[in-house]
Structure 1
Amino acid sequence: MSSSSSRSLRSCASAALGAFAALGVTVALTAAGPALAKDAAPAGAKPTIVLVHGAFADASSWNGVAGELRGKGYPVVAVANPLRSVSGDARYTASLLDKIAGPVVLVGHSYGGSVISNAATGNARVKALVYVSAFAPEQGESVVELAGKFPGSTLGEALAAPVPLPEGGVDLYIDQDKFRNQFAADVKPDAARLMAVGQRPVAEAALKEPSQGTAWKDHPVYFVYGAADKNIPPAAMAWMAERAHARRTVVIPNASHVPMVSHAHEVAALIETAAKSAD
């Protein structure tokens, strides 16, 4: 971009800000949110809640939960999880954690559980881990391995044709026509259709990658999942919660794989329990 073009863009931006000011609108260049690492977190400040979505979802899947938590004064960050590899996604999340001052409660959904298990390893500022219909792998375990440990997952038969990646490997999507029944059966049909359209693909290799981090061994752990999950067998999540010595496990009757969408209040309540316990 030429310097004249850059000056033009800056001029347009300044003019737009001036117009808002003239209308009496306050424009915040830095939105209210978590304190950056270079800043000191205020004494007694509530922990920042960092939400990590899983495969076939995006950060908007946390909207209901984030709204409840922000309404109670918690700073919230919903990570745009790359869904490329467990190790890479964990490094990305860890780098974001480094920019946040003060204590953090780290929350992962589905595949995001593997990500937070790695991202929080060795980070003393992470005060609790919350697994929302999520994987909590032991070192060397993969998502695929854990999902197949108990019967009940229908994910394989719901996948659309793989999409080849330029660098090799494939991306995976859930077939839009099968999305609601498999992934979000207790979400209203119109909302589930939009989720299906906007789903983020996951690299198949990420689901097969052995996990290395086991942050659940040295952080307080909380679990919440649906009893009607068709993605991760509920028996698998019960087993992982017990193995991780979860301080509290909430099982929501008839809930699907996305309780943070269909039961945002219950999920937010457990996250707040974890946050208060971390004080």
Structure 2
Amino acid sequence: MKTLLVALALAAGSLVAANASAQVAKPTVILVHGAFADATSWNRVIEILKKDGYPVVAVANPLRGVASDGQYVSDVVASVTTPVVLVGHSYGGSVISTAARGHGNVQALVFVAAFAPEAGETAAGLSGKFPGSTLGPTLAPPVKLTGGGADLYIQQDKFHAQFAADVPAAEAALMAATQRPITEAALNEKAGTPAWTSVPSWFIYGDKDKNIPPQSLGFMAKRAGSKQTEVVAGASHVVMVSHAAAVAKMIERAAAAR
């Protein structure tokens, strides 16, 4: 009888350990924002992912250059011991395509209204590959930097219509005031060999994106061999803000794929 009780106790302990291991097994989601945004643009997505048990890190993307930003995010990835799902918005797509290289723990890439450049391509070039981007005329005069180069912002009075048309005006005004600039050089920096050639990718974007033409986003998704592509009707460039549930769901699909 005593032997039976010990066996049952051991079995119960093993079951608890297995359940705990299953919970820990969820990959860490690393979110990388793009130009004219910051890490808070992921807040609603983070709330959903955290509720569903995913560890999340929203990186403060420096927005200085594809190679240097990619190295910064790569260092963050290297600090994580679990499997990783790397998620990039807009210019952040170029960054995750660089950052994932050489990391065996990156199991998926998710492009959220994001660039997925081939080697030698630039964000600026891909924006102009197909008609539809109206970003250029909405940019403020460049801010000249002491060390050389220039920072780019969207004019605050044009931010809502250009960047976040499906977000309430008051919220868009806050986003406009807190936007982080990107260097002009970063948008024109050629990408290196992309990680999406070897890491599975998922894409989601809106059909009313005015920064990156939807046709360009669809082209990149098809070229990357996207496992699943979702086009959100009526969504602006900040689809993760206006349609957080859809974006979180896509990330979780990528995280669950094997």
Residue 70 (structure 2) pairs with residue 93 (structure 1)? no
Question: Do the aligned partners of 2:160 and 2:172 also contact (CA within 8 Å) in 1?
Answer: yes
TM-score (ref. length: structure 2): 0.91
Residues in 1 aligned to 2:124 and 2:193: alpha-carbon distance in whole angstroms: 17
Counterpart of 2:230 in structure 1 is 250
Residues in 2 aligned to 1:140 and 1:107: alpha-carbon distance in whole angstroms: 21
Counterpart of 2:103 in structure 1 is 123
Q: How does 1:107-122 map to 2 (within 5 A)?
A: 107-122=87-102
**TM-superposition CA deviations, 1:217-261 (whole Å, max 9, x none):** 101100000000000000000000000000000000010000000
The structural deviation recorded for 1:83 is: 0.2
Counterpart of 1:226 in structure 2 is 206
- Of 22, 28, 31, the residue aligned with 1:51 is 31
Amino acid in the other structure paired with 1:260:
M
**SS in structure 2 at match of 1:128:** strand
Residues in 1 aligned to 2:29 and 2:149: alpha-carbon distance in whole angstroms: 33
Residues in 2 aligned to 1:121 and 1:95: alpha-carbon distance in whole angstroms: 11
Residues in 2 aligned to 1:157 and 1:255: alpha-carbon distance in whole angstroms: 21
Question: Do the aligned partners of 1:94 and 1:119 also contact (CA within 8 Å) in 2?
Answer: yes
Counterpart of 1:236 in structure 2 is 216
- Runs of 4+, deviation exceeding 2 Å: none
Counterpart of 1:164 in structure 2 is 144
**SS in structure 2 at match of 1:141:** coil
Residues in 2 aligned to 1:166 and 1:67: alpha-carbon distance in whole angstroms: 39
TM-score (ref. length: structure 1): 0.84
**TM-superposition CA deviations, 1:127-182 (whole Å, max 9, x none):** 00000000000000000010000000000010001000011110000000000100
The structural deviation recorded for 1:213 is: 3.1
Residues in 1 aligned to 2:250 and 2:240: alpha-carbon distance in whole angstroms: 11
Q: How does 1:1-20 map to 2 (within 5 A)?
A: none
Residues in 2 aligned to 1:155 and 1:122: alpha-carbon distance in whole angstroms: 34
Residues in 2 aligned to 1:79 and 1:60: alpha-carbon distance in whole angstroms: 10
Counterpart of 1:183 in structure 2 is 163
Counterpart of 1:84 in structure 2 is 64
Amino acid in the other structure paired with 1:150:
F
Residues in 2 aligned to 1:243 and 1:253: alpha-carbon distance in whole angstroms: 22
- Of 120, 127, 130, the residue aligned with 1:150 is 130
Counterpart of 2:13 in structure 1 is none
The structural deviation recorded for 1:124 is: 1.3
Question: Do the aligned partners of 2:163 and 2:211 also contact (CA within 8 Å) in 1?
Answer: yes
Which structure 1 segments of 5+ residues have no match? 1-41
Residues in 1 aligned to 2:114 and 2:193: alpha-carbon distance in whole angstroms: 15
Residues in 1 aligned to 2:77 and 2:193: alpha-carbon distance in whole angstroms: 16
The structural deviation recorded for 1:43 is: 4.0
Counterpart of 1:135 in structure 2 is 115
**SS in structure 2 at match of 1:63:** helix
Counterpart of 2:46 in structure 1 is 66
**SS in structure 1 at match of 2:47:** helix
The structural deviation recorded for 1:102 is: 1.2
Question: Do the aligned partners of 2:130 and 2:215 also contact (CA within 8 Å) in 1?
Answer: yes
**RMSD in angstroms over aligned alpha carbons?**
0.8
Amino acid in the other structure paired with 1:179:
F
Residues in 1 aligned to 2:101 and 2:21: alpha-carbon distance in whole angstroms: 25
Aligned residue pairs: how many?
237
Counterpart of 1:260 in structure 2 is 240
Residues in 1 aligned to 2:151 and 2:186: alpha-carbon distance in whole angstroms: 10
Residues in 2 aligned to 1:93 and 1:43: alpha-carbon distance in whole angstroms: 27
